[in-house]
Structure 1
Amino acid sequence: MEDLKKILTDARIIPALTELLRPGTECWLVGGTLRDWLLGRPVRDFDIATPKDPSDLAMRFAERVGGKWFLMDRQRRQSRVVLRGEGITCDFAPFRAPDLKGDLRMRDFTVNALALPLTGKFPPKLIDVVGGREDLALKRLRACSEWVFFDDPLRVLKGVRHCAELGFRLEEETRRLMARAAGVMDRVAPERIRAEVAAIFSAPSPADHLPLLHSLGLDGKLFGPSQVEEGFDRGVQLAARMEKITRNLAADDAAAALLDEELEAGLSRRTLLTFAAFLRGYAPQDPAGLSASLRLGGKAAAALPALAALPRNRAAEIAALPDKPRGRALWAASLGAGAVNSLMFISLFKKESPEEVAAEVLPLLRDVIDCARGGRIPDLVDGRWVRENLGLGEGPKVGGVLEMLRREEIAGRVNNAQEARKFLKSLAKKIVDNETGGTL
């Protein structure tokens, strides 16, 4: 218990929150906080329950610790306090039943139905009314009751996420209940579904647990019909290969930082690439509709179709690239969908082992990192120089000649600004000659 006391002290629940409690007030630490503590996992999110509306307590706690308070569910009086700059959140909610034991029985899974009082003597007594501690020891995921999934169908996806994140197995009756409730998943807000799908693909080895989605009948509901036979199996295979490639890439610190970069809330680059690999194999009939139905943010909604359209045969070009850092970086940018995303994703189609693919791609990735400025690879000469020195004026011709210059760099025939200007002047002369029939 002493380690939990330190965790609570670091989060300032002790003494800041406990000092705010009025005499005789019940206040309990519940749910995933205790599950993760008992499993020895890092604890950064705290679930706090009281018999009545805890909004006032939460607001006073936020003021005491300098955190930010906001209401998450007005009807259920659920709110959150975020401790600024510390990565700690505290969720406050009233009991879902007249008393604590009733509240615990109304929770989703037994491993989340544990409680510890924040008042009284230390060490406190752990409350377990549905056998959650035994299920934790057995690494078993078991529903608290037969109606929990129809009360909130999102719990079906949450169950898959728990299996993926914690390495638990589903109890058979719970699996049956989840499969029955999968049919009413359309009752759930898309934003909530998106968060769970992102969490599943963010798990340590998501491909190992994606078949559970299929066995529950969730794949079609989440991703729509597939265009190809055995699309789900192919999607799982590609997701598993992408996992292995990114795991090998992450051995490099710079690549690891790029993979862990959060592109939008709850979605890292690593997660996006694994999800994109799965969708590449799954081949949904309506990719645009999928982005809309999952309420994907702008970056993900743009990146997924671009990655899906990458010609797999371009992966073979890597071996033939000249050893010119800028040219190699420009080649990666020419793939579209962002140089980093595209380079990591196109490696999916190399035939070598994930270890060999990572070893080949890492030098190119370093070239992209070294050559990029403000998220792009700058041209050796800019559009203004082209307009002023080649007399092409405004319009698409400027972009066209700069694209030709990039191709020359990729081929290794242009290596610096001086050679770039020489090439462009020669190109401009050819354009003029072609347009005038050889006369000025």
Structure 2
Amino acid sequence: MIEKLAACCAPLETDAYLVGGSVRDWLLSAKPGQDIDIAVSGDPEAIAREIAGRFGGTVVPLSPAHGIVRVAVPADDGAEDGPWNIDVDGFTGTIEEDLARRDFSVNAMAVPLAGRPSSDSLIDMFGGRTDLATKTIRALGPTVFQDDPGRLMRAVRLAGQLKFRVEPGTSKLIAADAGLLASVSPERIREEFLTILSLDGAKGQIEVLDHFGLFEQVIPEL
């Protein structure tokens, strides 16, 4: 699917990159998952419609305020191991600037969707590949959780999903900013919490939430 996406984006006169969790999962398993994130320098909705037309998918606006559009591609449309969810996000400036605004090093890598996409062309300014090798969740900077407090839950969820550890500096940031979780929508907190509960070793992740002072924010009556 990645090579097909590259071929689809090639004539659109836009810079397009495989980004975020897609790159992370690709590097971990040598193949992309069924959820694919791409960042484009053009109009994300227009590009999403081109992708949908190419693969028989449906365009679903995910976050109009942030310009994120999803293309849902059914499994029965020649989509290999689908179904696929292809999230198209627009960026301004450079891809490096876009990556610098992300949350954790393992999510701040990109691969150009030009020619034949390969890990040899990996853009990795923050040591994400090294952190994958050492199974580490590392925040990109001191304001990561202040910029988006929902990332507090995401850090714990990612650590549980990937069987990674949260490195000490990031742990201190989470504990210091735990109170900011109160500003996150209940729906977003619930989604992350239910995902954590569904993981193998969920009890351990609940203990991690409690250690960071997040559990009392999730269920304040306890």
Q: What is the TM-score with the length of structure 2 in the denominator?
A: 0.90
Within 2, Cα distance between the matches of 1:62 and 1:160?
A: 33
CA distance 1:69–1:205, change in 2 (3 Å): same
Q: Return the offset for 1:28.
A: 0.4
- After TM superposition, list the pairs within 5 Å mapping 1:17-36 onto structure 2: 17-19=8-10, 21-23=11-13, 25-36=14-25
In the TM superposition, what whole-angstrom CA distance separates every residue of 1:128-182 from its partner, at most 9, and x where no partner exists? Answer: 0111111111101000111111111110100000111001111111111112222
Instruction: Choose between structure 1 and 2 for higher RCO, CA contacts under 8 A separated by at least 6 residues.
Output: 2
> Residue 82 of structure 1 contacts residue 88 of structure 1 at CA under 8 Å; is this kept in 2?
yes
Q: Return the offset for 1:225.
A: 2.6
Find the counterpart in structure 2 of residue 58 from structure 1. Answer: 48
> Residue 6 of structure 2 contacts residue 115 of structure 2 at CA under 8 Å; is this kept in 1?
no
Within 2, Cα distance between the matches of 1:78 and 1:111?
A: 20
Code of the aligned partner of 2:5:
I
Q: Return the offset for 1:216.
A: 1.0
Find the counterpart in structure 1 of residue 37 from structure 2. Answer: 47
RMSD: 1.7
Q: Return the offset for 1:99.
A: 1.1
Within 2, Cα distance between the matches of 1:72 and 1:163?
A: 25
Runs of 4+ in structure 1 displaced over 6 angstroms?
none
Taking every aligned residue pair, what percent have the same amino acid on both sides? Answer: 37
> Residue 108 of structure 1 contacts residue 143 of structure 1 at CA under 8 Å; is this kept in 2?
yes
Within 2, Cα distance between the matches of 1:90 and 1:181?
A: 32
- Larger strand fraction of residues: 2
Q: Name which of 145, 149, 171 aligns with 1:149.
A: 145
> Residue 53 of structure 1 contacts residue 94 of structure 1 at CA under 8 Å; is this kept in 2?
yes
Matching of residue 114 in structure 1 with residue 109 in structure 2: yes
Within 2, Cα distance between the matches of 1:110 and 1:122?
A: 20
CA distance 1:52–1:183, change in 2 (3 Å): farther
Matching of residue 206 in structure 1 with residue 208 in structure 2: no
In the TM superposition, what whole-angstrom CA distance separates every residue of 1:23-57 from its partner, at most 9, and x where no partner exists? Answer: 4x210000101111111176111110012431100
Note the residue ranges of structure 1 that are not aligned, 5 or more in a row: 1-6, 227-440
Code of the aligned partner of 2:59:
W
Q: Name which of 50, 62, 65 aligns with 1:72.
A: 62
Find the counterpart in structure 2 of residue 8 from structure 1. Answer: 2
Code of the aligned partner of 1:87:
P
3-state secondary structure, aligned to 2:121: coil
Find the counterpart in structure 1 of residue 79 from structure 2. Answer: none
Matching of residue 222 in structure 1 with residue 213 in structure 2: no
Find the counterpart in structure 2 of residue 101 from structure 1. Answer: 96
3-state secondary structure, aligned to 2:12: coil
Within 2, Cα distance between the matches of 1:51 and 1:132?
A: 23
Find the counterpart in structure 1 of residue 129 from structure 2. Answer: 133
3-state secondary structure, aligned to 2:60: strand
> Residue 149 of structure 1 contacts residue 156 of structure 1 at CA under 8 Å; is this kept in 2?
yes
Code of the aligned partner of 1:38:
L
- After TM superposition, list the pairs within 5 Å mapping 1:8-407 onto structure 2: 8-9=2-3, 12-15=4-7, 17-19=8-10, 21-23=11-13, 25-40=14-29, 43-85=33-75, 86-95=82-91, 98-120=93-115, 123=118, 125-226=121-222
Paired positions, count: 214
Q: Return the offset for 1:121.
A: 5.0
> Residue 106 of structure 1 contacts residue 145 of structure 1 at CA under 8 Å; is this kept in 2?
no
Within 2, Cα distance between the matches of 1:198 and 1:52?
A: 35
Q: Return the offset for 1:14.
A: 4.5
Note the residue ranges of structure 2 that are not aligned, 5 or more in a row: 76-81
3-state secondary structure, aligned to 1:119: coil
3-state secondary structure, aligned to 1:198: helix
In the TM superposition, what whole-angstrom CA distance separates every residue of 1:45-90 from its partner, at most 9, and x where no partner exists? Answer: 1110012431100012112211111111112111101112433100
> Residue 105 of structure 1 contacts residue 145 of structure 1 at CA under 8 Å; is this kept in 2?
no
Q: What is the TM-score with the length of structure 1 in the denominator?
A: 0.47
Within 2, Cα distance between the matches of 1:67 and 1:121?
A: 23
CA distance 1:177–1:52, change in 2 (3 Å): farther
Within 2, Cα distance between the matches of 1:38 and 1:50?
A: 21
Within 2, Cα distance between the matches of 1:207 and 1:146?
A: 28
